[in-house]
Structure 1
């Protein structure tokens, strides 16, 4: 595949567009969970205005009264075009896609297609907490395959997890997070090919959560799992939700590899009733016309990653931080600070900064926090200063 480099968009940095007074008027989870004196750098919402093409598409739909049920393949066509231009991937077949309510609910439906109650679902920890919650809720067993010390997939650990998952003759799935949340790791083509070989060897079906795929820094290459040798039997979930801040406009796409089309065809028809028609319109517009805005965001996030590294070196040198190549999330190892297994609680109560506790992320999460970088540089600076004041 030939990746198209990010372009200099000429658009202003959306992370610098909104002040705290404006943001605190929002009524979403990020801004209503904690009191106003708390800086919220936790849940995956960005402090940005929406891309103008998205606003225009949704506004036009509302003006027309186009608020019915979703139909057609415009979303899948927009994603296929985006994938071809952005990742050099021409293998996203529109006929092997299905609209689902969101990525996590879509992952649940894919896992149901390839496993049964009581079967194991392997995950690489530390990982996005809903992986545990949704898997156990549908009566599957979570099998942890921890990342290595370098925060990358450990093939030996993964193979052992696969072997145990199928040892009693049961089916198993691997819920792959790519790029990885919370570490920001971008899996290489070689790593994903190894995953595919192991999955084929042990008969494990791969379901890839690729929601953060558009949020990869220039210089790193996102590789769709379905594009690697052996990935033909995989299932993927993608969405414009994270990259364009559209979590409240529900819509995602399930994508089947060439050898998994029959599995996707068994998806219950009622699943397609969950996505929002306005969500489909918004996500399609983002993928089709929101690339300049995305490039400006990526440049701003890159600046914020560098800023965070500088701030930590100055104020909190005891924190270990490996800047990720993707997402707008930072995984911070706070164990040297002596704040216990859940430093997020200390930073919240003493510093008035809301971060995600590392504990719900599974093995490797104790003593860690996840910080949301998608905010104004001034807010990020104030947050780190408050965190440092906890240690004084």
Structure 2
């Protein structure tokens, strides 16, 4: 199939489902309209390439978010951020979704999750200190940590994509062996594997971190995107997480990366550390972004639920497509995130099958080796597209293999 044959596919009406929720957002955008976008996903590759790589979704903006942005522009409310509107909205969302209350006085607005992580790591580590990560893991973990002159120590996930407490224990011991400070940068839900860590797994990690004097910084940017059958457990709610931090944002769940804003949240015993974050860090997030994120958290949860239903349908579709066209590829349907982690080693395409799929099939995926140990022979596929695009992508991948 030519990519032009997909133009118009996926475009639907703005109606609601039978239960009154908005229609599946993944069915609302035609490929023709998507190719008019100027963001990274749609400009990094030529137009004959199907882009299923970076974590942007092929969805329209949720109407409550669009309304909030339009109102801000109509008022000229485009200045500097102030107040706790974001923290209050996140507190409301977290209470309803996870039974977790977030006091505004234990939060700080930051430009985005990764820059917030950097600022928190500056509070609890020094140049030359170690930061433990669970490989394979989000590529910027390596880039940002190394750029700020910290050492990365890997504690690989198990073959099933789970946290391994024995491996963590060894990594924490190595990180603190010289008497230096150390941190554990936790990805929860995990990117790229889509693993949603259990309360038991998280509590065990917290106990080990405390035993070794390691500070935990949890990247929970994908927390709202947990699919049926799994439940997100906020790290700061588990026993032993009192000295930890969490970074959260509405950007992934509502596709708002272009409207920069995030929150750093401190455990009760870490609030004193968060209070020392330089005031200028709060200048980084966009005021309009904060208004948009707050609107998403308060008023666009129905849109989110429709998205989660659509992602659930897509992960089942992907399983069927792979079984039909690429049965050698191993896929454990993700519990959370919009990202699918595919083990392509049996195809014999080398360490970087994404390069082969791009060159021969004109499908852009993320390269497995960039995620660290455990990534060779794998690719990351962005599931947040229309079923028609997914079907065409897998057919192309099969022809390339």
Aligned to 1:269: 279
Among 33, 42, 49, the residue aligned to 1:38: 49
- Normalising by structure 1, report the TM-score: 0.97
Aligned to 2:362: 352
Task: Quote the Cα distance in structure 2 between the aligned partners of 1:140 and 1:350.
Answer: 38
Deviation (angstroms), 1:130? 0.1
Aligned to 2:83: 72
Deviation (angstroms), 1:88? 1.4
- Normalising by structure 2, report the TM-score: 0.95
Deviation (angstroms), 1:390? 1.0
* Runs of at least 4 residues off by over 4 Å: none
Aligned to 1:4: none
Aligned to 1:126: 136
Task: Quote the Cα distance in structure 2 between the aligned partners of 1:10 and 1:188.
Answer: 29
**Structure 2: gaps (5+ residues):** 1-17
Deviation (angstroms), 1:255? 0.1
Task: Quote the Cα distance in structure 2 between the aligned partners of 1:218 and 1:64.
Answer: 40
Q: How does 1:50-199 map to 2 (within 5 A)?
A: 50-90=61-101, 92-199=102-209
Task: Quote the Cα distance in structure 2 between the aligned partners of 1:132 and 1:219.
Answer: 31
Aligned to 1:3: none
Provide, for residues 11-60 of structure 1, a one-character-per-residue CA deviation record: whole Å limited to 9, x for no partner.
10000001110000000000000000000000000000010000000001
Deviation (angstroms), 1:157? 0.5
Deviation (angstroms), 1:8? 5.4
Deviation (angstroms), 1:264? 0.1
Deviation (angstroms), 1:265? 0.3
Task: Quote the Cα distance in structure 2 between the aligned partners of 1:270 and 1:197.
Answer: 33
Task: Quote the Cα distance in structure 2 between the aligned partners of 1:232 and 1:85.
Answer: 22
1:215 aligns with 2:221: no
Provide, for residues 183-235 of structure 1, a one-character-per-residue CA deviation record: whole Å limited to 9, x for no partner.
11000000000011000000000000000000001231100000000011101
Task: Quote the Cα distance in structure 1 between the aligned partners of 2:306 and 2:335.
Answer: 16
Task: Quote the Cα distance in structure 2 between the aligned partners of 1:25 and 1:380.
Answer: 19
1:324 aligns with 2:324: no
- Contact between 1:9 and 1:296, CA under 8 Å: does it hold in 2? no
Aligned to 1:239: 249
- Contact between 1:9 and 1:295, CA under 8 Å: does it hold in 2? no
Task: Quote the Cα distance in structure 1 between the aligned partners of 2:367 and 2:47.
Answer: 20
Deviation (angstroms), 1:9? 5.2
Q: How many residues align?
A: 384
SS of 2:253 mapped into structure 1: helix
Task: Quote the Cα distance in structure 2 between the aligned partners of 1:74 and 1:61.
Answer: 14
Task: Quote the Cα distance in structure 1 between the aligned partners of 2:58 and 2:301.
Answer: 18
Task: Quote the Cα distance in structure 2 between the aligned partners of 1:87 and 1:220.
Answer: 12
